Amino acid sequence: MKVEEFVSLSLFKKIKTLYVEGEFVTSIRYYRYKVNLFLLNGFYVEAFYHPKTDRIEKIVPFDSNHSRKKFYTDQVKLPHWFEKVS
């Protein structure tokens, strides 16, 4: 599955795809969310979980230009190409 195909899925299908085919990398706290980072078919995906509502509110491809990248790289050693994947 390519990133374009993944983006077009419903939230439910994104969740199912991530947990069946994706590889969990790490999680961070970001404002009111717990954000889980997954590797799926060569691209990174973020799942935004809101603990108070106990719901995954959104799942989006990782934006390598976002400042959250530093939170991930501070926790785990990611491949050198991590910065180029979006």
Question: How many domains is the chain built from?
Answer: 1
* Within a domain: 84: no
* Within a domain: 83: no
Q: Which residue has the tokens 């390598």?
A: 64
Q: What is the pLDDT of residue 85?
A: 47
Ordered strands of the 43-50 beta sheet: 23-30, 33-40, 43-50, 55-61
Domain that holds residue 11: 3-78
**In one letter, which amino acid is 20?**
V
Q: pLDDT tens-digit profile of 37-68?
A: 999 998 999 999 999 999 999 999 987 777 77
pTM given for the model: 0.79
